[in-house]
Amino acid sequence: MNPPLRILMLEDDPAHAELTTQALLESDFDFFAIRVDSRKDFEGQLTEHPPDLILSDYTIPGFGGLVAMDIAQTMLPNVPFIFVTGTMGEEVAIETLKIGATDYVLKSRLARLGPSVRRALRESAARKDRYEAETRLRQSNEQLRALTAHLQSVREEERTRIARQVHDELGQALTGLKLDLSWLAGNLPKGSRTLQQKARALSACIDTTIQTVRRISTELRPGVLDNLGLVAAIEWQAQDFELRTGIRCSTTMMAAETIWDQDISTAFFRIFQETLTNIIHHAGASRVDVTLTLETDRLVLKVRDNGRGISEAAIASAKSIGLAGMRERAALLAGEVLFAGIPGQGTTVTVRIPHSAATIPSEGAA
């Protein structure tokens, strides 16, 4: 069973309070009412015994109903506040409703009080439910975002580690093999042509494997990104893209080469790669223009293709997981990604991320 309703009555006339209590009893409320008639007692009750409902007269000597409502709204904004008054004109009544009163009931028509209280309580319960649901949703969004950030950074660390191991350990082992093989080839008995041929074929095979190892390691995480920075990595990726696809890809880097914060560089680079992949799959473009510029507080990457143009539907669709991933990457660094398409003319992807977190060497630093 619900506990009795806690009602705070602001009323200077005990006889009127009695009539109000009577009206509530007649409406079958299970309640517990406290009457106060001064600002001090009113505030004391709000602080020490927060009520479920406030019923207030409009004219209280030394302390107006509007002031009371203002105090209640500040201290307990979710508690319904109903004026029960004999003096309120219709215009004043409407005005009080506009500025936050839940309802008003005239003392000459107290039969209205029961339904008015019921509705107020229903609405405040619904508001509370909605507020709680919104809070839960916000918390779960924040958790998801934190999880995404964590997964992305773990994934990037793992790729960097594997790329390094593949490059260093496999690369070294293969180089060692190649050296041993060339020693062996040099010491084969003269005239053993089949063995010589076999050694040459083996050597060629090792060369190809070395190339493959380099490619795999670079695809996992290009060393240029960590060693030379974002500008070099974008230029390298653009060249590689042009070579693989035959789509002309020009770069204009108007941001001086600086090693930005690794998270920022990684975000730009991965978004750039995703954009190029989309161009291969969807654009049907013959050229791509890439610019990187430094605004006062933001680093801006623009990738423009001359293909069919991304549709509004694709930009807005919840199914565009690739686009969502790009937006999310930028959002984690307080940045944004915008997509714009003109049918038949092409698509522009604009990435803006504040570089405040970036480590820019001071003037004159090496």
User: Interface residues with ligand ATP (CB under 6 A)?
Assistant: 278-279, 281-283, 305, 307-308, 310, 314, 320-323, 347
Residue 308 binds: one of Mg ion, ligand ATP, none (C-beta under 5 to 8 A by kind): ligand ATP
- Which of 217, 52, 206, 240 shows the shortest CA–CA distance to 128? 52
- Which of 71, 36, 40 is closest to 55 using CA atoms? 36
| Residue with Cβ nearer ligand ATP (231 or 276) | 276
C-beta of 92 vs 324, nearer to ligand ATP: 324
CB of 274 to ligand ATP, least distance (A): 7
Nearest to 210 by CA among 179, 180, 172, 236: 172
- Shortest separation between residue 326's beta carbon and ligand ATP, angstroms: 8
Q: Residue 358 binds which one of Mg ion, ligand ATP, none, with CB within 5 to 8 A depending on kind?
A: none
User: For residues 20 and 14, what is the distance between their CA atoms, to the nearest angstrom?
Assistant: 10
- What is the 3-state secondary structure of the chain? CCCCEEEEEECCCHHHHHHHHHHHHHCCCCEEEEEECCHHHHHHHHHHCCCCEEEECCCCCCCCHHHHHHHHHHHCCCCCEEEEECCCCHHHHHHHHHCCCCEEEEHHHHHHHHHHHHHHHHHHHHHHHHHHHHHHHHHHHHHHHHHHHHHHHHHHHHHHHHHHHHHHHHHHHHHHHHHHHHHHHHCCCCCCHHHHHHHHHHHHHHHHHHHHHHHHHHHHCCHHHHHCCHHHHHHHHHHHHHHHHCCEEEEEECCCCCCCCHHHHHHHHHHHHHHHHHHHHHHCCCEEEEEEEECCCEEEEEEEECCCCCCHHHHHCCCCHHHHHHHHHHHCCCCEEEEEEECCCEEEEEEEEECCCCCCCCCCCC
CA distance 115 to 27: 8
Which span (45-53, 169-177, 277-285, 295-303) binds Mg ion, by CB under 5 A? 277-285
Rounded to the nearest whole angstrom, what is the least distance from the CB of residue 326 to Mg ion in the complex?
A: 9
Query: Does 325 engage in binding with Mg ion (CB under 5 A)?
Result: no
Smallest distance from Mg ion to CB 322, Å: 3
- What is the closest distance, in whole angstroms, from the C-beta atom of residue 323 to ligand ATP in the complex? 4
Nearer to Mg ion, 278 or 306 (CB): 278
Instruction: Single out the residue of 114, 284, 322, 354 in contact with Mg ion (rule: CB under 5 A).
Output: 322
| In the complex, residue closest to ligand ATP by CB | 322
Instruction: Give which of Mg ion, ligand ATP, none residue 64 binds (C-beta under 5 to 8 Å, depending on kind).
Output: none
Taking the complex as a whole, the smallest distance from the CB of residue 327 to ligand ATP amounts, in Å, to 10
Nearest distance from residue 284's CB to ligand ATP, in Å? 8
Comparison of 139 and 345: residue with beta carbon closer to ligand ATP: 345
Q: Shortest approach of ligand ATP to residue 348 CB, angstroms?
A: 9
Whichever of 153 and 311 has its CB closer to ligand ATP, that residue is 311
- Residue 347 binds to Mg ion (criterion: CB under 5 A): no
Q: Of 21-29, 53-61, 272-280, 287-295, which part binds Mg ion (CB under 5 A)? A: 272-280
Cβ closest to ligand ATP, residue 9 vs residue 283 = 283
Task: Pick what 321 binds: Mg ion, ligand ATP, none; C-beta below 5 to 8 Å, kind-dependent.
Answer: ligand ATP
* Residue 320 contact, options Mg ion, ligand ATP, none, Cβ 5-8 Å cut-off depending on partner type: ligand ATP
Min separation Cβ 305 and Mg ion, Å? 13
Query: Is there binding between residue 278 and Mg ion (CB under 5 A)?
Result: yes
How many CA atoms does the CB half-sphere of 247 hold within 13 Å? 23
CA–CA dist 4, 328 (Å, integer):
48
Closest to Mg ion by CB, 322 vs 354, is 322
Residues that bind Mg ion (CB under 5 A): 278, 322
